Amino acid sequence: MNKKILDPAVTWKEITPGGTISDAGNAHEFKTGDWRSDRPVWLSDKCKQCLLCVPVCPDSSILVVDGKRTDFDFDHCKGCGICAKACPFGAIEMKEEE
């Protein structure tokens, strides 16, 4: 597993403010996908395009184009696995992040 180790010389004052909510709807400004320890893998051959995974994603990381889901927005997906549990066809599997 890829674990990030912080430099002990870096103080809290020097850390980026990721997640600061200064305006409504500003989540797109912060790439929070690097918080992930598990990664969803979309198995397109099993997907029936029911879109049941889309509304349960708390980060709106499942992209839909022309009424069909595509791959994940990994810049914002935190790997919670809710989409995998919601999929009745087993088209989403959770894998350890590399």
For the stretch 12-45, pLDDT in tens is: 777 666 656 666 666 677 788 888 899 999 999 9
SS3 category, 62: strand
Q: What single letter denotes the amino acid at residue 11?
A: T
Structure tokens at 94: 């959770």
- Is residue 77 over pLDDT 50? yes
- pLDDT, greater one: 6 or 53: 53
Residue ranges of domains in the chain: 12-96
- CA pair distance 44, 30, nearest whole angstrom: 28
Per CATH, the number for 12-96 is 3.30.70.20
Average pLDDT, the chain: 84
